[in-house]
Chains A and B, each alone.
Chain A
Amino acid sequence: MHKIWLICKREYVSRVMKKSFLLMTLLSPLLIVVFYGIIFYFSFNKDISDAQKTILVNDATGIFENRLESTNSIVFHYKSIELAAAKRELNSKKQYAILSITQQDSVINYQLLSNEQPSLSTLAAIEGKIEKVLKDKHLQGKGIDAGILKELNAISVHIATQKNTQSGIEKGDSGATTIIGFIGAFLIYFFIFLYGVQVMKGVIEEKTNRIVEVIISSVKPFQLMLGKITGIAMVGFTQFSIWVILVGLLSGPVASLVMELANIDASAIANSGKEIGAQSGKLNMLAGFSQINIPLILGLFIFYFIGGYLFYGALFAAVGSAVDNETDTQQFMFPITMPLIFSIAIAQSVINEPGSQLALWLSMIPFSSPIIMMIRLPFGVPTSEILASMACMVAGFLATTWFAGRIYRIGILTYGKKPSYQELVKWLFRKN
């Protein structure tokens, strides 16, 4: 035990003391926050980012006059002009585009003339406005009066979900559950990849430095492997904790800085939210978060976080031991990274059907369970399934560690030729 601790300590200290670690740890949260700050800035500040587009409507039909609804980003003006005049208007950049509406018999033609190809969203927005006017006109033609029409347009539906659990009926929110589950799953995926590869590189480094035989004349290969995996896990935890804390500390000031820069106050956000019609959704989502069993999810997140890392870390260590240099790792990395990538790729369909057979089995198999279980959890998973999955995880971790340890003990002393899968299997059963 003492030796594992020594190895773990060395792995930890030698990594944490590196300049690149400090830089990564301190800069990443800043980058994340700034990155989201920029997204935030643009999403709440469309009016400033996209200059307001003025569209001149040249309506020969007379149907649309003063009826197209202007928004913050698109404003409609109405004027009958000739093509030459229209070109002049565009050249002078006073207008973004000229919408010409003409009618031949019963067919109405719409043409948008502009200096640049308009974006799909702008086009869709204009088409929406036109369709609305036509629909309203049609409904009015059928005898529906303006009052009813207004009432019709005000109809907006939001489904509140509820969950039947043993302790009663709980309010649910699939937006919140999706987000929480996905963030958890993605963090685990990221952690396994980032630090699993570090384990592998560490093992390869010891092999290429030819230091490994010196070390294993003092410690058992298995101790060396475990010490390395736990040491790197601690590095990961340190880095993650610092990230969480820094992101928490930084996001406040950055948010207010962005708001000041963008010249928006909180009420403007509320207004813009209303305009998008998502405000009520957002509030519901916030309420949704409070409905989810946070302690359970957090506890299981930590469990699968560690379990998944240990499960894969051992495999990465085995790969590192089997080869002499990083370029040779590809062949062995593939079967390890496949289930990880597959799990993340299939996450979407698990979100759609968290109770399906596929989701159930993927959340049991330790290759995918850390990721898939995180996605399923917020939707509610029976305790028996959670316990079974956890048991599989522990068993899986023990199995891969044993498996990796067998390969590792032979691999670290084998130089030269890259072994085949057949040889790896032989190593598994070779006596020491």
Chain B
Amino acid sequence: MIIQIDQLNKRYQQHQALKEVSLSVKEGSIFGLLGPNGAGKTSLIRILTQITEADTGQILFEGEPLNPSHIYQMGYLPEERGLYKKMTVKDQLLYFAELKGLSNKQAKEKLKYWVDKFDIRSWLNKKVEELSKGMQQKIQFIATVIHEPKLLILDEPFSGFDPINAQLLVDEILLLKSKGTSIIFSTHRMDSVELLCDHIALINQSEKILDGNVRELQQAFKKNLFEVKYTGQTLFNTDWMQVIETKEKDGYTSQLIHIGLHLNPNQFLQQLLQEPIGIVSFQEKLPSMEDIFISAVQQKNLNK
């Protein structure tokens, strides 16, 4: 585990920002910290990056209690981010690298790696204000990872990114992961991380309401829903299935069907094959992170 958080509490005057939050992040994995705006994600991240301190609770970084030297092992891309507009790209990146504990020589070596990788040699002596928004985003990302952190913390990383740069960011994140970097990904746009994250934690109103492996959670929260696309006669409710939604287009019928718990997908498919229809596609509909979040919040409220 690169990060273990145990019963973290944080209070700002009138507002409880975090309440008994515990979670852990596995080495080399991508961890999604999901929740609506104001749920407490940024408070948690600011405690991790030691910008603020928790009131109570413990954080271990690679098994050691969190201390200032760990800052050098972290790369942090805050939601509110920016660069010095009047500084050249080169000076800026070297400055950030040195602030993260690299010597001037090391910083220059790392800079060379990223310059070659993104092919930005011609930008080096330009001031940041002369660059386009997309270019600035690349520089910002390099500034975050130039010191090769073990843990990368990205707060709403895609906000303000155009689709091309967003894809580039995803590629880089996956590449860093393959090299063993652990990544914490915080966002309120839950759909954006389903494919990227290995683990997630859902945070709502200062509390963690759910965490776990993305596939396992989807299995746990699935509602036996299937999407079936076919030609022929439209199906109606039977004792073993219930039609939730029907769409017809270009001679095809698409239906969202809920099946009884006594059926597994194979049995359902067999039943369907006996009907006078031609099946075009058949797919189990797994819940999205947003669906899971809503169910989890509802469950939590019911338990109260």
Contacts A6-B98, A218-B100 given; does A213 touch B13 at CB 8 Å: no
Q: Which residues of A have CB within 8 Å of B13?
A: 426, 430
Residue among A210, A218, A415, A430 facing the most chain B CB atoms (10 A cut-off): A218
From 195 to 211 in chain A, residues with beta carbon under 8 angstroms from any chain B beta carbon are 209-211
- The reply to whether B99 and A211 form a contact with Cβ atoms under 8 Å apart is no
- The reply to whether B81 and A214 form a contact with Cβ atoms under 8 Å apart is yes
Q: Taking the complex as formed, is B55 at the interface, i.e. its CB lies under 8 A from any CB of chain A?
A: yes
- The reply to whether A3 and B83 form a contact with Cβ atoms under 8 Å apart is no
How many residues in B have their beta carbons less than 8 Å from beta carbons of A?
30
Residue among B13, B46, B51, B143 facing the most chain A CB atoms (10 A cut-off): B51
- The reply to whether A218 and B99 form a contact with Cβ atoms under 8 Å apart is yes
Q: Which residues of A have CB within 8 Å of B143?
A: 214
Q: Taking the complex as formed, is A432 at the interface, i.e. its CB lies under 8 A from any CB of chain B?
A: yes
0/1 interface trace, chain B 86-103, chain A, CB 8 Å (1 if under): 110001000110111000
- The reply to whether A217 and B74 form a contact with Cβ atoms under 8 Å apart is yes
- The reply to whether B53 and A211 form a contact with Cβ atoms under 8 Å apart is no
Identify the closest chain A residue to B71 (Cβ): A218
Contact of A14 among B71, B87, B99 (CB under 8 A): B87
Identify the closest chain B residue to A415 (Cβ): B80
- The reply to whether B51 and A211 form a contact with Cβ atoms under 8 Å apart is no
Q: CA separation between A216 and B80, bound complex, in Å?
A: 12
Contact of B78 among A209, A217, A431 (CB under 8 A): A217
Q: Taking the complex as formed, is A215 at the interface, i.e. its CB lies under 8 A from any CB of chain B?
A: yes
Q: Which residues of B have CB within 8 Å of A358?
A: none
Q: Taking the complex as formed, is B85 at the interface, i.e. its CB lies under 8 A from any CB of chain A?
A: yes
Write the nearest CB–CB distance from A347 to chain B, whole angstroms. 38
Q: Taking the complex as formed, is B134 at the interface, i.e. its CB lies under 8 A from any CB of chain A?
A: no
Q: CA separation between A415 and B78, bound complex, in Å?
A: 14
Q: Taking the complex as formed, is A219 at the interface, i.e. its CB lies under 8 A from any CB of chain B?
A: yes
- The reply to whether A217 and B76 form a contact with Cβ atoms under 8 Å apart is yes
- The reply to whether A217 and B53 form a contact with Cβ atoms under 8 Å apart is no
Q: Taking the complex as formed, is B84 at the interface, i.e. its CB lies under 8 A from any CB of chain A?
A: yes
- The reply to whether A211 and B86 form a contact with Cβ atoms under 8 Å apart is no
0/1 interface trace, chain A 402-415, chain B, CB 8 Å (1 if under): 00000000000101
Q: CA separation between A432 and B10, bound complex, in Å?
A: 10
Q: Which residues of A have CB within 8 Å of B78?
A: 210, 213-214, 217
- The reply to whether B85 and A209 form a contact with Cβ atoms under 8 Å apart is yes
Q: Which residues of B have CB within 8 Å of A432?
A: 52-53
Contact of B51 among A7, A216, A415, A431 (CB under 8 A): A216
Q: CA separation between A10 and B85, bound complex, in Å?
A: 13
Q: CA separation between A318 and B95, bound complex, in Å?
A: 24
Q: CA separation between A215 and B140, bound complex, in Å?
A: 12
Q: Taking the complex as formed, is B82 at the interface, i.e. its CB lies under 8 A from any CB of chain A?
A: yes
- The reply to whether A413 and B76 form a contact with Cβ atoms under 8 Å apart is no
Q: CA separation between A6 and B103, bound complex, in Å?
A: 11
Write the nearest CB–CB distance from A211 to chain B, whole angstroms. 4
Identify the closest chain B residue to A7 (Cβ): B99
Q: Taking the complex as formed, is B49 at the interface, i.e. its CB lies under 8 A from any CB of chain A?
A: yes
Q: Which residues of A have CB within 8 Å of B55?
A: 431
Q: CA separation between A213 and B114, bound complex, in Å?
A: 23
Q: Which residues of A have CB within 8 Å of B53?
A: 431-432
- The reply to whether B95 and A6 form a contact with Cβ atoms under 8 Å apart is yes
Q: CA separation between A3 and B76, bound complex, in Å?
A: 18
Contacts A14-B86, A219-B99, A431-B55 given; does A213 touch B71 at CB 8 Å: no
- The reply to whether B96 and A214 form a contact with Cβ atoms under 8 Å apart is yes
- The reply to whether A211 and B82 form a contact with Cβ atoms under 8 Å apart is yes
0/1 interface trace, chain B 2-36, chain A, CB 8 Å (1 if under): 00000000001100000000000000000000000
Contact of A214 among B50, B74, B82 (CB under 8 A): B82
Q: Which residues of B have CB within 8 Å of A3?
A: 99
0/1 interface trace, chain B 40-56, chain A, CB 8 Å (1 if under): 00000010011111010
Write the nearest CB–CB distance from B296 to chain A, whole angstroms. 30
Q: CA separation between A432 and B46, bound complex, in Å?
A: 11
Q: Which residues of A have CB within 8 Å of B100?
A: 218
Contact of B99 among A6, A213, A415 (CB under 8 A): A6
Q: CA separation between A211 and B92, bound complex, in Å?
A: 11
Write the nearest CB–CB distance from B72 to chain A, whole angstroms. 8
Identify the closest chain B residue to A209 (Cβ): B82
Identify the closest chain B residue to A432 (Cβ): B53
Write the nearest CB–CB distance from B57 to chain A, whole angstroms. 14
- The reply to whether B80 and A210 form a contact with Cβ atoms under 8 Å apart is yes
Residue among A217, A219, A413 facing the most chain B CB atoms (10 A cut-off): A217
- The reply to whether B51 and A213 form a contact with Cβ atoms under 8 Å apart is yes
Q: CA separation between A103 and B113, bound complex, in Å?
A: 101
- The reply to whether A214 and B76 form a contact with Cβ atoms under 8 Å apart is yes
Write the nearest CB–CB distance from A52 to chain B, whole angstroms. 57
Q: CA separation between A61 and B13, bound complex, in Å?
A: 92
Q: Which residues of B have CB within 8 Å of A216?
A: 51
- The reply to whether B51 and A413 form a contact with Cβ atoms under 8 Å apart is yes
Q: CA separation between A218 and B144, bound complex, in Å?
A: 11
From 212 to 269 in chain B, residues with beta carbon under 8 angstroms from any chain A beta carbon are none
Write the nearest CB–CB distance from B12 to chain A, whole angstroms. 8
Identify the closest chain A residue to B99 (Cβ): A218
Write the nearest CB–CB distance from A206 to chain B, whole angstroms. 8
Contacts A14-B86, A14-B87 given; does A215 touch B80 at CB 8 Å: no
- The reply to whether A213 and B81 form a contact with Cβ atoms under 8 Å apart is yes
Contacts A6-B95, A14-B87, A426-B13 given; does A217 touch B71 at CB 8 Å: yes
User: Given A6-B98, A14-B84, A430-B13, list of 20 further CB < 8 A pairs?
Assistant: A3-B99, A10-B87, A10-B91, A13-B91, A14-B86, A14-B87, A14-B91, A18-B86, A210-B82, A211-B82, A214-B76, A214-B77, A214-B78, A214-B143, A217-B50, A218-B96, A413-B51, A415-B80, A431-B55, A432-B52
Q: Closest 8 interchain pairs by CB?
A: A210-B82, A209-B82, A213-B78, A218-B99, A217-B76, A211-B82, A217-B49, A210-B80
Chain A interfacial positions (CB closer than 8 Å to B):
3, 6-7, 10, 13-14, 18, 209-211, 213-219, 413, 415, 426, 430-432
Cross-chain pairs A/B with CB under 8 angstroms, 7 sampled: A209-B83, A209-B84, A210-B81, A214-B81, A217-B74, A218-B96, A432-B52
